[in-house]
Amino acid sequence: MILCPISPRVFVLPSEGLVAEAYLSAEHEDSISPGLPPLSTGLLSDADDVPPGATLTAHFLYHLAAKMDLKMEIFSLGDISKTVGKILTDMSSLYDVGRRKRSAGLLLIDRTLDLLTPCCHGDSLVDRMFSSLPHRNRTFSHGSGSQLKLSSSYLHRAPLDVQIPLAKILDEEDWQIDNFRLLETVEAFLCGWNSGNSDSQIEGLINLSQKIHDKPSQSDVEILTGSFVSSENFRGMPLLEAILDRKTKDGALLVKKWLQETLRRENVTVNVKSRPGLVTKPELQAMIKALSRSQSSLLRNKGIIQLASATLFALEESNYAKWDAFSSAEKILGVSSGETSQSLAIQIGDLINKTAFLGSHVNEGKREISKGLLSLQDALLLMIIGYILAGENFPTSGSDGPFSWQEEHLLKEAVVDALLENPSVANLKFLHGLREDLETNVSKSKSEETAEEPSKLDIDDFDDDQWGKWGDEDGDGDNKNEKVYGDVQLKLELRDRVDNFFKFLHKLSDLKRKNIPLRDGSLTTEANFDEDRKGLLYKLLTRVLGKYDVPGLEYHSSTVGRLFKSGFGRFGLGQAKPSLADQNVILVFVIGGINGLEVREAHKALGESGRPDIELLVGGTTLLTSNDMLDLLLGDSSYI
């Protein structure tokens, strides 16, 4: 596939394609992650140093414009966007310009100008769905693309293909009975399809009988895993588009309304209590089951059933509570960043200490505590958010970080202690090669604790045999010294790794100072995390559509435009610089990825501009969740 449409107005690149997985920055002092553009310092690299992701993105956009028969007026914000814009203008020839094509505006934006929005948990039903639903495992194909990917300039992104667990939502007993019938019809059809090969037909029938008599295996369950957009049912597409523009509560109410309309159309009655303006889990589940009772109804209404099942999964207590815990923690950090650096540092330290304490209790077998609560991995993501906020709100922060030495020292100690207690917390790249040592250290200390407890009870002060052990004390002392030395060495090594992690956090807190387009402060995010907090995309589109000046926004003039400027300009025939707001079609492409909240904000900015005539398309390298951001910044796909 060339692109992956989420709705008729929103698209991303296929998650395992070459364009989406090519590096967007090489490793140097201004780069943050191979999957994100570097900081926009204004020091553009030479043509040889253009990352493969930038070149491939430019080629993709050129061919997309050619397919849509559009002549692009290109605007860019950020260094990599500028590079992509230059490649695009160099590719457009005189022949392209001469042909009469519909004009459209292309706005390229670097993801690195706003890392806060994709890291945060905004009020978007689509984001909740993508974060909570299980995703398909990566496929390992043997094509030419996979050969290319073996080189070092490609990263591995998580597949965007979500798997909606319909089988779990339709009741277990119902599903087991119907599954045999479904298997029978599906496999009998497949046997008929391959009837040319009699051997495969016999094998298929044997497999079929085995599957019917045995219990359904994991692969059979996958027959009933849904996807958002499926080729056999295109009716789900407008529903998904409508949900993209909704908050969590509004989106869930819309899904409930569609379910009720579908049930009326199918003449199916459901005995369930329904309260207007409220969506409950049992109510949704009952309606989904009623629609799925017959196979014909299930196939006819697959789009709404899958979307409702995804909504149900996102509203499940554990997923919902965890998202809300994240959201409230982010709001607290936002409020603290509006006060003093000390209060923000205290809040971050509290988060690290609480999650470390809970993590150690969960490891001891008290798993019921963890429901809906944050892990140490989540606290590290919140720490990243805290540092970005600190960099934006405390302008005096220098290269040593936004906090004082004392505040940062306490934070470092908290992180070191937390990692010593919970070493298997996450796939953190800065712990590579050290995790096994940390895990053995934790298990050793736990086994020693359990061994010490009975020994305290068994001490007998009048044991005659004690004198016999008198000469062996030195040997025990050596072992103890060795153990202490090993512990100290491990802690020092961990401290070094944590120091590197904090250097990376300093780089993130410098986003506002180092990114030239953000320096004047008109595009940076406000400190307050209330309902009206908006990301960069909303602010940028509001300014552009209002025809205000945007610092750092560059226009890339076409070949003919450059001719006019140089030659015909002498005769007073020079072209005026076009405005993006004058275009009837605007394509916004975020290099590095977008999330569902930004799509909603972009359409809100368009709605508020009073320009209903503009057709807005939003695209990005991939659809980002907060988990993807953690992987890009601290996981295997990072430069830390």
Can you read off the two tokens belonging to residue 588? 């916004």
Which residues have C-beta within 8 Å of that of residue 323, sequence separation ≥ 6? Answer: 121, 128, 131, 132
How many whole angstroms separate alpha carbon 331 and alpha carbon 326? 9
> H or E segment at 202?
helix 198-213
Can you read off the two tokens belonging to residue 582? 């004058």
Q: Which amino acid is at 402?
A: P
How many whole angstroms separate alpha carbon 10 and alpha carbon 18? 20
Are the beta carbons of 589 and 620 closer than 8 angstroms?
Answer: yes
Residue 242: per-residue pLDDT? 85
Of 296, 315, 334, the residue that ends a domain is: 315
Of 299, 315, 331, the residue that ends a domain is: 315
> H or E segment at 190?
helix 172-193
DSSP lists the bridge partners of residue 535 as: none
CA angle 512, 118, 234 (to 5 degrees): 145
Q: Is the same domain home to 301 and 324?
A: no
DSSP lists the bridge partners of residue 618 as: 10, 588
Which residues have C-beta within 8 Å of that of residue 565, sequence separation ≥ 6? Answer: 557, 574, 575
- Does 455 reside within a domain? no
Q: Is the same domain home to 407 and 426?
A: yes
How many whole angstroms separate alpha carbon 348 and alpha carbon 419? 15
Q: Is the same domain home to 542 and 396?
A: no
- Does 466 reside within a domain? no
Residue whose tokens read 């993807």: 628
3-class secondary-structure state, position 348: helix
Q: Which amino acid is at 366?
A: K
Q: Is the same domain home to 282 and 192?
A: yes
How many whole angstroms separate alpha carbon 602 and alpha carbon 535? 9
- Does 132 reside within a domain? no
Of 315, 345, 380, the residue that ends a domain is: 315
- Does 477 reside within a domain? no
**CB-based contacts of 339-348 (< 8 A; 24+ apart in sequence):** 341/390, 341/394, 341/397, 341/402, 341/403, 341/404, 341/407, 342/404, 342/407, 344/386, 344/389, 344/390, 344/403, 345/403, 345/407, 345/408, 345/410, 345/411, 347/386, 348/382, 348/383, 348/386, 348/411
- Does 583 reside within a domain? yes
Which residues have C-beta within 8 Å of that of residue 272, sequence separation ≥ 6? Answer: 282, 283, 286, 287
Are the beta carbons of 509 and 397 closer than 8 angstroms?
Answer: yes
Q: Is the same domain home to 261 and 183?
A: yes
Residue 137: per-residue pLDDT? 81
Residue 234: per-residue pLDDT? 56
How many whole angstroms separate alpha carbon 628 and alpha carbon 427? 12
Which residues have C-beta within 8 Å of that of residue 152, sequence separation ≥ 6? Answer: none
Q: Is the same domain home to 235 and 112?
A: no
- Does 603 reside within a domain? yes
Q: Is the same domain home to 309 and 323?
A: no
How many whole angstroms separate alpha carbon 484 and alpha carbon 481? 5
Can you read off the two tokens belonging to residue 393? 């709100």
Radius of gyration of the chain (CA): 29
Phi/psi at 620 (nearest 5 deg)?
Answer: -160, 165
* DSSP classification of residue 460: -
Q: Is the same domain home to 261 and 189?
A: yes
Mark out the alpha helices in 245-375 (DSSP H runs): 248-265, 281-291, 295-300, 302-314, 317-337, 341-363
Q: What is the length of the chain?
A: 640
- Does 136 reside within a domain? no
Can you read off the two tokens belonging to residue 15? 């998650």
For 187, the domain range is 163-213+221-315
Closest CA to 412 of 345, 508, 510: 345
How many whole angstroms separate alpha carbon 101 and alpha carbon 438? 62
pTM for the whole thing?
0.83
Tell me the per-residue pLDDT of 564-604, one tens digit each, with 9 for 90 and over: 555 555 555 555 677 888 889 999 999 999 999 999 999 99
Number of structural domains (the chain) is: 3
Distances in whole angstroms, Cα of residue 424 to Cα of each of 373, 421, 439, 442 = 17, 9, 7, 10
Low-confidence stretches of the chain (pLDDT < 50) are: 94, 142-144, 173, 175, 177, 193-201, 212-213, 215-223, 364-369, 371-372, 455-463, 466-467, 469-471, 473, 527-531
Residue 42 is part of a domain; what is its CATH number? 3.40.50.1910
Residue whose tokens read 């709001």: 331
Q: Is the same domain home to 353 and 296?
A: no
Q: Is the same domain home to 272 and 198?
A: yes
Cβ burial, residue 447 (10 Å; 0-12/13-18/19+): exposed
- Does 131 reside within a domain? no
What does the CA dihedral 371, 377, 379, 381 come to, rounded to 10 degrees? -120
How many whole angstroms separate alpha carbon 358 and alpha carbon 381? 17
Output the 3-class SS for 229-281.
Answer: CECCECCHHHHHHHHHCCCHHHHHHHHHHHHHHHHHHCCCCCCCCCCCCCCCH
Q: Is the same domain home to 285 and 325?
A: no
Q: Is the same domain home to 397 and 347?
A: yes
